[in-house]
Chains A and B, each alone.
Chain A
Amino acid sequence: MKKINILLAIVLLFLFAGSNPASAQRKPLEIIILHTNDMHAKIDNMGKLAYLADSLRKSHEYVFLVAAGDNFTGNPVVDMVEDKGYPMIDLMNRCGFNVSAMGNHEFDLGQEKLNARMGQATFPFISCNIDASGATVKQPKPYMVLEAGKIRIPVLSVIQLGQNGLPDSHPSKLEGIKFTDGMLKVKEYTWLKDKYGVLIGLTHLGVEQDEPLAREMPQFDLIIGGHSHTTMSEPMMVNNVMIVQTGSGLKNVGKIILHIKHGKVIDTKYELIPMASIKNSDPVVQALINKYNDNQELNKVIAVAEADITGESELGSMMTDAITHRLKADFSFQNTGGIRVPAIPAGNISLKDVYRLDPFGNLVVLFKLNASEIKSLIRNSYNRSKQIDLEVSGMTYEIVLDQAGSCKDVIMLDLSGLSLDPAKEYTVGVNSYISASYTFDHRDPGNTTYTTCAQALIDYLGEVKKVNYKGVVRAKTGTSR
């Protein structure tokens, strides 16, 4: 009999190992989850976040801090340092993050640098639909388990895929990685709910996919989302699953209070806290932020201007050469309104100079256009303001005016001085502002390169080292004909 009892005890112990000890619990366990998403390297509010998290930790036993991905990309003081992305990891460590979803912009770092950053993080990056077995980047775990005393809370993550089956990052950053449909993959983890009684999604899908995910996976108690930069002042309730998201750029932080009893979530409260409402900042973290913001690396010299680069024609020629060179386009165009300094003086060109020249974060978009379509772009751009509006690389052009001063034709010559081939399809790079707001004929809808124009210019200048655009004029207005 004694042997049977021991055997029974072992069996029971085995059965309940890892699961939450439901029966022993009398009053609900309170768990606080602070969450962010799509911080995009915006570090200025990290001191406030650290202060809030520490304040709650002093008064509550179980406080967790989670990020729903896209911690990087969007701030030169984080993106342009030698240890690209490190300031963000350092600050997230100091804030005490417990886990982050893998977002598409994590890959912007490049796989080797991402490995380094993941190695420095005191928290894991997770995602269930990434197979990195053939890649440089380390394999993320699909989920992690938060521990609140004897209660265990699994957090499962999943990353978005675009129409091309890849996360929204430059494909060259994703080499060797296999991605599977996240909506299908998460269903392989319903056992987490069976085992632990609780299941949290930390997704980087966007609200448009979190909503069907909640419909199809009622096993989730909560979906902490990211990717779509959605600010939810109230949670969305779908199929009894709470969905939350905090916008982007660490302008807000979400606070969720879970009450768990008998191994189940019995009550959930949500509050969106604007960072502007938090008046205190952790002094240690704030000092680090100040240090990172005073980033001397932005003064780093990347090239030398042999002569002043003055005016829209010279500056625009340099900017478009960068796109043509970096993205292997035949021609590139830059709108004059996007050229934000009057000149870059002769001498050293720093990273700061580039960001002053092009502060918008516009992405390079590539189109396949024939000569007629290119002509329509130039003609329509001229007629917007009756003046040269597009600077160009890879070709020159002359506007032919009608009697009213409108563009009636465009003479376009390639670098050899020959007219463009009307039968040929050219690769044309423009910034996302032009691609979205300019009217021109194009059968190709275009494709983003996920490369900013500023980054293209930094890469270009870093490669050529010396530039001289003195007197360069590639676009001009001819006489009326």
Chain B
Amino acid sequence: MAMKVYINTKEIVIFDGARIQDAILAYSTVEWKKVINGEISIVDRFGNQTDPDGPIRDGQQFTLKNNTEL
């Protein structure tokens, strides 16, 4: 089974059981490095910050935001 999630509105198809970090890696390794370096944060559709090791569900939407925007 695959899941579809959205990073910055881009659709990412990824394996069932993936974590947010897997989806961000699939989205962009450059952005993933920024997450690791603490430059950007992951925000869910409600505006909450989410840790990269969190699990994801089909259809979830995340936005990557510069920490200065938060």
A residues apposed to B, CB below 8 Å: 38, 40, 162-164, 168, 206-209, 211, 227-233, 236, 245, 247-249, 361, 363, 365, 432-433, 435-437, 445-448, 450
B39: Cβ under 8 A from any A Cβ: no
Q: How far is the CB of A363 from chain B (nearest CB, A)?
A: 7
Q: How far is the CA of A245 from the CA of B51 in the complex (A)?
A: 12
Closest CB-CB distance, A368 to chain B, in whole Å? Answer: 12
Contacts of A432 in B (CB 8 A): 15, 18-19, 22
Question: B54 near A: Cβ within 8 Å?
Answer: yes
B57 within 8 A of A: yes
From residue A371, how far is it (CB to closest CB) to chain B in Å? 21
Please give the distance in Å from B5's CB to the nearest CB on chain A.
Answer: 11
- CB pair A445 B60 closer than 8 Å: no
Given B3, B44, B51, which contacts A207 in the complex, CB threshold below 8 Å?
B44
Give Cα A162 to B23, complex, Å. Answer: 17
Q: Given the complex, which residues of A lie within 8 Å of B32, measured CB to CB?
A: 437
On chain B, which size bracket covers the interface? 20 to 34
- Is B9 an interface position by the 8 A CB rule? no
Asked if A229 and B25 sit within 8 Å, CB to CB, the answer is no
Contact A230:B44 (CB < 8 A) given known A163-B58, A436-B14, A445-B13: yes
In the complex the two chains form, is A228's CB within 8 Å of B50's CB?
yes
Contact of A447 among B1, B19, B51, B57 (CB under 8 A): B1
Q: What's the minimum C-beta distance from A102 to chain B, rounded to whole angstroms?
A: 16
Q: Is B29 an interface residue (CB 8 A)?
A: yes
How close is A183's CB to chain B, nearest CB, in angstroms?
Answer: 13
Q: Is the CB of A206 within 8 A of B55?
A: yes
* Complex-state Cα separation, A168 to B15, whole angstroms: 13
B residues less than 8 Å from A363 (CB atoms): 17, 19
User: Across the interface, which residues of B come within 8 angstroms of A229, CB to CB?
Assistant: 20, 50-51, 53-55
Give chain B residues whose Cβ lies under 8 Å from the Cβ of A247. Answer: 49, 51
Q: Are A162 and B17 in contact (CB under 8 A)?
A: yes
CB contacts under 8 Å to A, within B1-54, are 1-3, 13-23, 25-26, 29, 32, 44, 46, 48-51, 53-54
Using known A-B contacts A437-B29, A445-B1, determine if residue A228 contacts B18 with beta carbons closer than 8 Å: no
11 more A-B contacts (CB under 8 A) besides A208-B44, A437-B25? A168-B55, A208-B60, A211-B46, A229-B54, A230-B44, A231-B49, A247-B51, A445-B14, A446-B16, A447-B16, A448-B17
